Chains A and B, each alone.
Chain A
C-alpha cells in the first residue's frame, strides 16, 4: 500500500492557487515550484482548513489598501468575503470530485449550543446549560448550584500568541467572589454550565461508525481538575488510557453523529461519581493523535487505509 499524497497545511506560504477551470476540471496550485491539479486526487482527508486567505492573496498589502475613503475597512472586508467564498468552493470542488472523503469543510465548525440541544433531544445526558447576561442571574445560578458553575466560550476559546504574550482561555470555574468583585451589572451573553463533578473525562474519536475512546484521569491534580488541558502546573501527566463507551451511550452518540451528518469528529464526556456519561461537545475537526498515541489505536494507519482503499 503505497500511494502518493499531498499535505496542505494552513498558512503554508509556499503554496498558491494558480487557476480554476470548470470546463477542463482543473484546480491548479503551485507548491515549491511544482504544480498540482488537486482534482487528480481520489481521496481527501480534511481537518480544519487547508486553504487560507494567505494562500490566495500573495501580497498582503492588497488587503490593507484603502480604496473607499469614507469606509476604510470596507475594501478589506470585501476581499476577505470574496476569498472565503472562493475557499469554500475550492474545498467543495475537491470533495465532490473525490471518491473518498473523510471530514467535510462545511462541517469544520459546529454550533455548541445546537449540538447540546440535539444531544438532549436524543436522550444523552448533558450539563445544565444557560446563557446569562446579568450579574443578578449569574449570582442566582451560583447560589442555586452552590458555587459549582463554570463558564466557557460559546464558539471557541481565546487562543492568541503575540511576541510578548500568550492569551488563551479554557473552561473556568466561577466563584461568587469573582462575580461580585469583577463583573458589571450586565455583560455580553455568556455560556454558563453547572459543573460536573468528574471521576474522569472521556474523549471519543468517531470514524465512520466506530469509536476510539480514551479515558483521562486528571482528578488527582488540582491544576487539571476543571480542564485537563491545563497541564502546565500539573506534576504528573494525566493518565490517558483506552476506554469503551457503555453500549447505551455509544448508540446515542452514533445517532448524534448521524443527525449532524458527520462521518468523523471527537466527542467529549465527563463521567460523574454515579458513572453517568455527561456529554459536553463534539469537535468536528477532532485531533485524533492525542487519542491515538496514548491508546495505541493507530488511527493514522486506519485513516490511511480508508483513504487508499478505493
Chain B
C-alpha cells in the first residue's frame, strides 16, 4: 500500500503510452506497451486529468470526505500495481506522446477479392509494391488450388511486400499438410484462413520451425462474399502493437486508412463492400485513384466524427467498418454489425 505522506509533494505520472479514452458510461486505459486494457469510472478519468497540474497533496486537499481520500488511494494503488504510472518530482519532464501519424508508403495495405475471374495479379502486386504497400489480403470466394495460390505467392518475391494473408474456401481434397508446406515455403505468407471448414482449429505445428506456428487457421465460418466482413465485437478489437498503430486509429480511419481494395469485379474501391468504384484495375492505375480527393476522404473518418462511436470507450482500439452502417447510406453512422451499446456499456 502506498503511504501518502511520502508522496504529497510528488506528481503521479500516468505513463505517456497509457491512453485514457472517456466513454459515455465508463472510460478505458489502454496500455499500448503491454497491450492491456483497464476499465475505470469516469470520475477517475477527471481525476487523471488533474495529475498533470496538481501534486498528490493538492489533489487530496480538494476532497471533502475522508472516503474520497480512501478511494483515491485505492485508485493510485491500482495504477501502480498495474505499472501504469509512477510518482515523480517534476511532471514537466514527462510530456505527452504525440499522436501524429504518417507513413512513407502511399498505400500500406490492400485487399484483393477473387471469384471466378483471374485478376492480373502480377500487375496489381507490382502496382501495390510501387506504392510501398506492405500488407496484402487475398480473399477467394471459390475453391482454389494450392498451385494457384503458389503462383500468386511467387509474384511477391521481387516486391517489398512484407505480409500476405489468404482467405480461402475449405476444400476436402486438399491435404492440410499442403497448407503447411505453403507457409513454410513462403515466409511472406503470414496467415491462411480456411473458411467453411468442418472445425475451428489452428493447424498443428508439425516440426520445430517456429515460423509455421499458428499460420493456418481453419474456421467453420462461412464466407460467401465481402459481405461477411465488418463484424465488430471484443474479438475484432485489438490493442495496436505500437504507439504509431494507436495514433493511426485515433487520427484516421482504423480500417480504411492507406488502404486500396480491388473487388471481385476488378473495381478499385476503399473497401470491396463499399458501393463506389473509382475505376477498374484493368484500365485505371491505382496511383491515379489515390489522386482522387473522394477516395482519400474515407481514410480520415476518425471515430470522433461518427455518431455513437464518438461516445464509446472502445473507439480508439476499434476495427470499425464504414461499409455496413446502422443508417444505410450514412457513412458517419455506427457500424451495423457492432453489438456494443456505449450508453448501456454492454454487448447485445
**Interface residue ranges, A against B (CB under 8 Å):** 215, 217, 220, 236-237, 239-246, 275, 293-298, 300-301, 304
Known contacts A220-B83, A296-B98; A243/B93 CB under 8 A: yes
Known contacts A275-B89, A295-B243; A241/B94 CB under 8 A: yes
Residue on B nearest A301 in the bound complex, by CB: B102
Q: What's the interface size class on B, roughly?
A: 20 to 34
Known contacts A217-B86, A240-B33; A296/B95 CB under 8 A: no
**Chain B residues within an 8 Å CB radius of A293:** 242-244
**How far is A240 from B16 in the complex, measured between Cα atoms in Å?**
9
**Chain A residues within an 8 Å CB radius of B47:** none
**Chain B residues within an 8 Å CB radius of A301:** 102, 104
Known contacts A215-B94, A275-B89, A294-B243; A242/B102 CB under 8 A: no
Shortest 10 CB-CB distances between A and B: which pairs? A241-B16, A296-B243, A244-B93, A242-B95, A296-B98, A239-B15, A296-B97, A241-B15, A275-B89, A244-B95
B95 touches A239 (CB 8 A): no
Q: Which of B2-43 contact A (CB under 8 A)?
A: 15-17, 33-34
Most B CB within 10 A of own CB, among A215, A239, A246: A239
Partner of A244, one of B17, B89, B92, B104: B92
**How far is A297 from B98 in the complex, measured between Cα atoms in Å?**
7
Most A CB within 10 A of own CB, among B16, B86, B89, B98: B16
Residue on A nearest B80 in the bound complex, by CB: A220
Q: Decide yes or no whether B291 CB sits under 8 A from chain A.
A: no
**Chain A residues within an 8 Å CB radius of B16:** 241-242, 295
**Chain B residues within an 8 Å CB radius of A296:** 97-100, 243-244, 247
A294 touches B89 (CB 8 A): no
A236 touches B34 (CB 8 A): yes
A275 touches B90 (CB 8 A): yes
**Chain A residues within an 8 Å CB radius of B100:** 296, 298
Secondary structure dominating the interface of B:
loop
**Chain B residues within an 8 Å CB radius of A240:** 17, 33
- Interface flags for B89-127 (1: CB within 8 Å of A; 0: not) read 110111111111010100000000000000000000000
**Chain A residues within an 8 Å CB radius of B98:** 242, 296-298
Q: Which of B47-105 contact A (CB under 8 A)?
A: 83, 86, 89-90, 92-100, 102, 104
Q: How far is the CB of B30 from chain A (nearest CB, A)?
A: 14
A241 touches B34 (CB 8 A): no
**How far is A119 from B102 in the complex, measured between Cα atoms in Å?**
37
Residue on A nearest B92 in the bound complex, by CB: A244
Q: How far is the CB of B91 from chain A (nearest CB, A)?
A: 10
Known contacts A237-B34, A295-B243; A243/B94 CB under 8 A: yes
B244 touches A239 (CB 8 A): no
10 pairs, CB–CB < 8 Å, chain A vs chain B: A215-B93, A220-B83, A237-B33, A242-B16, A243-B94, A293-B242, A294-B17, A295-B97, A296-B99, A301-B104
**Chain A residues within an 8 Å CB radius of B93:** 215, 243-246
Most B CB within 10 A of own CB, among A242, A246, A297: A242
Q: How far is the CB of A252 from chain B (nearest CB, A)?
A: 16
**How far is A240 from B92 in the complex, measured between Cα atoms in Å?**
16
Q: How far is the CB of A161 from chain B (nearest CB, A)?
A: 18
**How far is A236 from B36 in the complex, measured between Cα atoms in Å?**
12
- Interface flags for B227-251 (1: CB within 8 Å of A; 0: not) read 0000000000000001110010000
**Chain A residues within an 8 Å CB radius of B90:** 246, 275
